[in-house]
Structure 1
Amino acid sequence: MKPSIQICSLETVRKIELSSYSGVITIENSTIENPFRIENGTPEQLILKFDDISSTMDDYIKPQKFHIKKALSFANKVGDGTLLIHCHAGISRSSAIALAIIVESFGPGKESDAVEFLAKINPNARPNKSLIMMTDEILGREMALFKTVSNMMELTIHSP
């Protein structure tokens, strides 16, 4: 089953009508000053707070496996509904979290199909390297996802 996922930036999510979504995953920087919150609780919102980094730096929050596990659990709860995933730019963290959800739903051996699906829904995707590597570990893919992403698109490996 192909999940219904849309990816956008923080700027875009503030402007769109959310009533058609079954869930929203908000990925925030640790330094955000004006966080996005869904006031009435509809659709349900999962808030993940970590920075777009691949190694520990100062007071920034490095992505952890529990962030991915929470997103996978949330997506499973949303089920067949439409999921909106956003981070600051809608390119790295949101794409990596979306890919985790997509690759889990496609199943083992379908990593290429999952990456192609991500590229269709977000042509600007540059998934965060750390998140992709952790997704491989969580789903037991033995680096198949990381290798596929590395061959098919550019990964984001940077510091804030």
Structure 2
Amino acid sequence: MTLLVCPLSQVEAARALHRPSHLVSLLSPTGEAVWPASDLGDAHLRLAFHDIPEPREGYTAPDAALVARLLDFAAGWDAARPMLVHCWAGVSRSTAAAFIVACQRGPERAERDIAQALRAAAPYATPNPLMVSLADAALGRGGRMSAAVAEIGRGADTFGGALFELPLR
């Protein structure tokens, strides 16, 4: 099982190199012009929301329905080929989604271990805390996902992430 994460700028290279069966695009609602082209049909999930840590007037925050769509999509992935997750910079929304999918796929794994694996794979990862909190509730993790992300804290300064793999086992 391979879960790949990258910024928008590296999606095409990652697709060519790894040939993922599933693609998750997490971009702003005003970013329709930059959505990557895809021939994956229903295996490409597009979620449009702002990268904000709490609801805010004039912005589209992630919500429970959006997280449910991500979880449903990931549940349908057979993991025979990689899933690629991206956002604009590859730092917050995509790392949150990867953490969420890893928690969903590894219900027996400690949230802390998954968060630390995320930090080891991407020192700049700063998962969106609202997405994580919503998934924590949806997966019945009792606040442990949020606590694990809070424990790893804000990632290293960066202008954008790079392609990385988050181990799912």
User: For residues 61 and 152 of structure 1, what CA distance do their matches in structure 2 show?
Assistant: 26
Q: Map 1:19-98 onto structure 2 (within 5 A).
A: 20-32=19-31, 34-41=33-40, 44-80=43-79, 81-98=81-98
Tell me the TM-score normalized by structure 1.
0.84
Q: Map 1:143-154 onto structure 2 (within 5 A).
A: 143-154=143-154
Deviation at 1:13, TM superposition (A): 1.2
Deviation at 1:67, TM superposition (A): 1.6
Q: In the alignment, which residue of structure 1 is the partner of 2:167? A: none
Deviation at 1:93, TM superposition (A): 0.6
Equivalent pair of 1:38/1:45 in contact (CA under 8 Å): no
User: For residues 75 and 20 of structure 2, what CA distance do their matches in structure 1 show?
Assistant: 14
Q: In the alignment, which residue of structure 2 is the partner of 1:158? A: none
- Match of 2:34, SS? coil
Deviates more, 1:140-149 or 1:113-122: 113-122
Alignment counterpart, residue 11 of structure 1, candidates 9, 12, 21? 9
- Match of 1:48, SS? strand
- Match of 2:26, SS? strand
Q: For residue 24 of structure 1, what is the amino acid of its counterpart?
A: L
Q: Please, which runs of 5 or more residues in structure 1 have no aligned partner?
A: 156-160
Q: Evaluate the alpha carbon distance shift between residue 15 and residue 145 of structure 1 in structure 2; reply closer, same or farther with a 3 A threshold.
A: same
User: For residues 72 and 121 of structure 2, what CA distance do their matches in structure 1 show?
Assistant: 21
Equivalent pair of 2:103/2:109 in contact (CA under 8 Å): no
Equivalent pair of 1:23/1:44 in contact (CA under 8 Å): yes
Deviates more, 1:28-37 or 1:126-135: 28-37
Residue 112, structure 1, aligned to residue 112, structure 2: yes
Deviation at 1:59, TM superposition (A): 2.7
Q: In the alignment, which residue of structure 2 is the partner of 1:137? A: 137
Q: Evaluate the alpha carbon distance shift between residue 35 and residue 117 of structure 1 in structure 2; reply closer, same or farther with a 3 A threshold.
A: same
Q: For residue 70 of structure 2, what is the amino acid of its counterpart?
A: A
| Per-residue CA distance 1:93-122 (angstroms, 9 max, x = gap) | 111111111011121561112112222433
Q: For residue 21 of structure 1, what is the amino acid of its counterpart?
A: P
User: For residues 43 and 144 of structure 2, what CA distance do their matches in structure 1 show?
Assistant: 32
Deviation at 1:42, TM superposition (A): 6.3
Deviation at 1:20, TM superposition (A): 1.1
Deviates more, 1:94-103 or 1:120-129: 120-129
Q: Evaluate the alpha carbon distance shift between residue 55 and residue 16 of structure 1 in structure 2; reply closer, same or farther with a 3 A threshold.
A: same
Q: Which has the higher contact order (CA 8 A, sep 6+)?
A: 2
Deviation at 1:151, TM superposition (A): 1.2
| Seq. identity, % | 25
Aligned length: 153
